[in-house]
Structure 1
């Protein structure tokens, strides 16, 4: 069977849609295969908003990629003539030595990023939505904000199609096999040949990349929206997006009142409950809502009151919680993207570029050493 495509992209969520657009824009013949439909509710790429921030507490080495991501988001907005990235600032809140606050500060100082340190009194004056304990501080990343995931995905799919990519929805891939000159992709309806394949299937990644079985673990995530008790303090002009380090209570994230449902809140990784990616997301239960209701009563007393709704989605967690973006060991024509461990969407605009580089050029000048198989799994 002859090679039909330069690149096949399996999974057209955040990373796959971006990769398809970047590869097609370079003149490659691209096919994209998606089991469901764009931004479907079993994905990790829906729900109105995703945080973006420059001062990255997880590891300062992410910052150059973020700087490129900002450039690419703005380029996407210009191409689409629509808004995708909104800057509100992002507040990191907690004890000065907490992981989120201290890590963000170290990242900002290392890369010379603008930031402000605010004590409890200054926080109350400038950002009255937030309740701080004695000794806690806020660190403001003024360039942070949020990205609209559905608009981003649909935008990249639009560009991919305009550059000639064949995009197939409702067509799950059953297997991939590298052999000879290229890769054979078998879907539920057809068989294709491509020189390179990018696997970006999120919670289903281990079904096509067996090296990730028991390593890339899908878990259940819950977020809830609350009607603001004070619409003035909950608006984006007075309430930036935020991360809060609650110590042993975990870390929380949230957004101001930017939509009809109100203030959005979640705890990172929630209860870390593994799920079967082939099954529907488990419903929201009383333990879920009790956790989030308790948080907003204590930490956002002036910004969030009645819960409007709550929903489940899914994270796919790797042991280190870093991304995995690399050629599959022993299969150099297969590139895997298991970005995200719950913090990847903001990088969509640069990971797509990186994946296109790896598939078309075999490497990239974008920094990605942190994301290799060898680093994640040094013992194979």
Structure 2
């Protein structure tokens, strides 16, 4: 049977793409080389931040508004909570890219926000101990998603609509043949009118054009036992995105895993092969984030409860890649989410369904086109 679409990769982006394709009545097959969910890619770790005051670029905000609405729809479909609002903090020096970018997005899109100094932030949220040179942009709509549950919810809803999702099936190759695409796995060859590649850190092995445009990087997260747990409890501690002297950090209140969670963007700047990456976490991994905990969140400086390695897949400018394959218009690619993509999964899934079924999308994805690199 010829499918309407095949989706390679059923993680955060791919699960949403399968769901939105099925929602429109398409015959869709999702192919995942691991389990659903799994801890080999970029969509695990209990929580993923979602925020509206988007420092990276104000053009992301309309996509985020749609993403929030779609996450709420998925919650209703699944009958469970997937998005938890905590409020959010974008912090740094007043002239930092993080603070200026967050304020620009707030201004352009008229987002509710407040700017406070480090003293006032600590008064309201005692878990924070930022230096006096920093300020914080507080935006009430930020929070976090539960990534594993989100993926399972998308897949369950897609299957209910008739989608087929196969796990433990690695894609070996694909080829465009006339008006169709043939996808060969270790088990079989499947055919479809359209192909959607959402393979995360493995995308560049399926589209060589991405070799230097979607580069995997090892990332490490840590959960610690707070010395004063009440200061990092849900409701007391907003999620954060912080630009500091040591780099850019992000973190979460206690939820699920009973600890304070923190990570550093571009943890140790390790470009990796995802099939050979070291998954075990080392003392030097902990040292990178432990320094920030001690300086900025000293009441969270208890013993490590857990550490996990995951992957970023970085584009050169750290903006997404969402486009058609340059040589095959029946193939659409979503890649290079550069460590800030999961919050957009719901809307990216909708966009990929648009591209696959209609050849266009109502969303402005101009800044994500591959042509910007040429």
Structure 2 distance, partners of 1:269, 1:314, is 10
Structure 2 distance, partners of 1:94, 1:236, is 23
State the Cα distance separating 1:280 from its structure 2 match: 4.6
State the Cα distance separating 1:241 from its structure 2 match: 0.6
Q: Unpaired runs of 5+ in structure 2?
A: none
Q: Secondary structure at the match of 1:133?
A: coil
Out of 29, 32, 44, which is 1:31 matched to? 29
State the Cα distance separating 1:93 from its structure 2 match: 1.5
Alignment length, in residue pairs? 374
Runs of 4+ in 1 over 4 A off after TM superposition: none
- Quote the residue 2:59 is aligned against: 61
- Quote the residue 2:145 is aligned against: 147
State the Cα distance separating 1:181 from its structure 2 match: 1.6
- Quote the residue 1:308 is aligned against: 305
Of the structure 1 ranges 190-199 and 206-215, higher mean CA displacement relative to structure 2 is found in: 206-215
Q: Secondary structure at the match of 2:308?
A: strand
Q: Deviations over 1:39-75 (max 9, x none)?
A: 2111110110000000100000000000000000000
State the Cα distance separating 1:339 from its structure 2 match: 4.3
- Quote the residue 1:17 is aligned against: 15
State the Cα distance separating 1:261 from its structure 2 match: 2.9
**Does the alignment pair 1:134 with 2:128?**
no
How do residues 234-253 of structure 1 correspond to structure 2 at under 5 angstroms?
234-247=232-245, 249-253=246-250
Q: Secondary structure at the match of 2:276?
A: coil
Q: Deviations over 1:89-111 (max 9, x none)?
A: 11111111111111101110111
State the Cα distance separating 1:319 from its structure 2 match: 0.5
Of the structure 1 ranges 261-270 and 61-70, higher mean CA displacement relative to structure 2 is found in: 261-270
Contact 1:325–1:368 (CA<8 Å) still a contact in 2?
Answer: yes
Contact 2:8–2:198 (CA<8 Å) still a contact in 1?
Answer: yes
Q: Secondary structure at the match of 1:265?
A: strand
Structure 1 distance, partners of 2:343, 2:188, is 33
Out of 347, 351, 359, which is 1:350 matched to? 347
Q: Deviations over 1:235-260 (max 9, x none)?
A: 1222101111114x210000011134
Output the aligned Cα RMSD: 1.1
Q: Deviations over 1:131-151 (max 9, x none)?
A: 121221111111000000000
Contact 1:42–1:280 (CA<8 Å) still a contact in 2?
Answer: no
Structure 1 distance, partners of 2:52, 2:278, is 31
**Does the alignment pair 1:274 with 2:262?**
no
**Does the alignment pair 1:174 with 2:172?**
yes
- Quote the residue 2:188 is aligned against: 190
